[in-house]
């Protein structure tokens, strides 16, 4: 018997029925344990055989991680409270301090095996994947860190909503009409992008943040409309998948740019929009009126009443040009700040936005509902787009 272990300590340890691994965890490494004091692993009072299953748990983790692309990982464990308490009781009875806990040991042991086999590193902060051991039930739960993407989409067909719409029958509660999803089954940019992203990144759920929006019947051209996407539990997280998506042909919608970013901004930055507005004249507008419209809305402030926020937003229109396409069809081109509703700017919205087209033109005009307005470009503040493109239709 090693002289470092007092007989009293051994007697005490024996009383608690510990397996070799749990026993050794409580004592300095230098102590050699006499076999007579060791309990069979499955009878161990602390781990109940869990420590003996570390190799098997590691294998299960490895099998599940095969589906994931990752550079770093972390092993966690849900050790039942009664086991943690048992270990605490023994440690305080034996007046043991420091040393490793059962939870730390099982996660470290499994982590070392996984690192050895995969060549990937354990990382405590922002690991790509987290494998949680449920030692009692011998199950593993794998969660991967969300992946954030920044992209731009183009819309080449009319009649596609930007966002999904809540089911109108149940207002999103879930009913037989919507197959209990709470959503209407519609053709939307959101649906098209979500299914393409799910296919490439094998994720569970996607949360989008759109930089502005357009009408169902609007096209989106130029560099495209920017958006952020947060992918939950993705199995794939490489930029190659993002690249592949930009090369895909989707119906009516395509991804012009897609890159992996660190996060999505809490507040989206303001941006500029270049837009073409398609107007139907209900009586011919005199050229003089159009010239006034152009002069009024060149480098002009637009005041938008926001009664709910009890304030007036001030946005800017930088330039406006027009082109007559047919006797009663006008195309207006405009560069303006984000956050101006084109519909309200054209119609006046009962005077809540001024100046507005309706008041200046003094005649009844309507948007061509089949193609009300098109987004020709969306310009971000740090955009590298040539400034020249801002001044052309
Ligand atoms: Zn044990
Ligand atoms: Zn419904």
What would the 3-class secondary structure string for 92-158 be?
Answer: HHCCCCCCCCHHHHHHHHHHHHHHHHHCCEECCCCCCEEEEEECCCCEEEEEECCEEEEEEEEECCC
Q: What is the mean pLDDT of the chain?
A: 89
Q: How far is the CA of 185 from the centre of ligand 2 (A)?
A: 10
Ligand nearest to the CA of 179: 2
Which of 216, 224, 222, 211 shows the shortest CA–CA distance to 338?
Answer: 211
Q: How far is the CA of 141 from the centre of ligand 1 (A)?
A: 23
pLDDT band at 7 (very low <50, low <70, confident <90, very high): low
- Residue 391 is encoded by which pair of tokens? 């001044």
What do you get for the CA distance between the two ends of the chain, in Å? 91
Angle at 17 between CA 14 and CA 21, to 5 degrees: 100
pLDDT band at 309 (very low <50, low <70, confident <90, very high): confident
pLDDT tens digits, 237-253: 999 999 999 998 888 99
Q: How far is the CA of 64 from the centre of ligand 1 (A)?
A: 26
Instruction: Kindly indicate whether the domain formed by 7-144 is annotated with CATH number 3.30.2300.10.
Output: yes
CATH of 147-261, one of 3.40.50.300, 3.30.70.2510, 3.60.15.10, 3.40.50.1220: 3.30.70.2510
Ligand nearest to the CA of 49: 1
Ligand nearest to the CA of 46: 1
Ligand nearest to the CA of 24: 1
Domain 7-144 and domain 147-261, same fold? Reply is no
Angle at 14 between CA 19 and CA 47, to 5 degrees: 30
Ligand nearest to the CA of 180: 2
Residues with CB under 5 A from ligand 1 (ion): 19, 22, 44, 46-47, 51
Q: How far is the CA of 61 from the centre of ligand 1 (A)?
A: 21
Task: List all residues 6 or more positions away from 318 whose beta carbon is below 8 Å from its beta carbon.
Answer: 272, 298, 299, 335, 336, 390
Tell me the domain boundaries of the chain.
7-144, 147-261, 272-391
Q: Which CATH class is domain 272-391?
A: alpha beta
Q: How far is the CA of 63 from the centre of ligand 1 (A)?
A: 25
- pLDDT at residue 2 above 80? no
pTM for the predicted model, two decimal places = 0.86
Which of 90, 68, 138, 85 shows the shortest CA–CA distance to 110?
Answer: 138
């Amino acid at each position: 018997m090693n002289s470092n272990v007092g007989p009293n300590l051994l007697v005490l340890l024996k009383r608690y029925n510990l397996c070799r691994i749990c026993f050794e965890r409580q004592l300095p490494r230098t102590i050699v344990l006499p076999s007579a004091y060791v309990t069979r692993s499955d009878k161990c009072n602390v781990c109940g055989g869990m420590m003996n299953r570390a190799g098997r748990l590691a294998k299960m983790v490895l099998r599940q991680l095969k589906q994931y692309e990752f550079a770093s990982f972390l092993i966690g464990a849900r050790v039942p409270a009664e086991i943690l308490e048992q270990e605490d009781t023994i440690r305080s009875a034996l007046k043991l301090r420091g040393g490793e806990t059962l939870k730390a040991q099982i996660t470290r042991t499994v982590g070392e095996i996984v690192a050895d086999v995969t060549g990937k590193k354990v990382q405590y902060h922002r690991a790509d994947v987290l494998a949680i051991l449920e030692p009692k039930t011998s199950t593993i739960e794998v969660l991967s860190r969300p992946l954030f993407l920044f992209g731009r989409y183009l819309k080449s067909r009319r009649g596609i909503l930007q966002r999904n719409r809540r089911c109108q029958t149940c207002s999103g509660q879930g009913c037989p009409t919507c197959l209990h999803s709470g959503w209407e089954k519609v053709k939307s940019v959101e649906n098209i992008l979500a299914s393409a992203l799910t296919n490439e990144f094998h994720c569970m759920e996607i949360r989008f943040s759109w930089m502005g929006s357009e009408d169902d019947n609007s096209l989106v051209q130029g560099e495209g409309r920017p958006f952020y996407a947060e992918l939950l539990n993705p199995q794939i997280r490489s930029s190659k998948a993002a690249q592949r998506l930009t090369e895909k042909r989707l119906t009516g919608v395509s991804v012009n740019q897609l890159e992996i970013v660190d996060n999505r901004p809490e507040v989206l930055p303001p941006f500029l929009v270049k837009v073409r507005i398609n107007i139907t004249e209900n009586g011919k507008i005199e050229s003089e009126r159009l010239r006034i419209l152009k002069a009024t809305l060149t480098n002009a402030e637009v005041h938008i009443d926001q009664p709910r926020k009890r304030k007036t937003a001030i946005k800017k229109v930088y330039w406006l040009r027009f082109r007559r396409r047919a006797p009663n069809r006008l195309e207006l081109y405009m560069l303006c700040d984000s956050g101006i509703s084109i519909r309200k700017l054209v119609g006046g919205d009962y005077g809540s936005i001024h100046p507005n087209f309706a008041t200046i033109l003094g005649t009844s005009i309507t948007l061509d509902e089949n193609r009300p307005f098109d987004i020709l470009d969306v310009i971000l503040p740090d955009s590298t787009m040539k400034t020249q493109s801002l001044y052309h239709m």
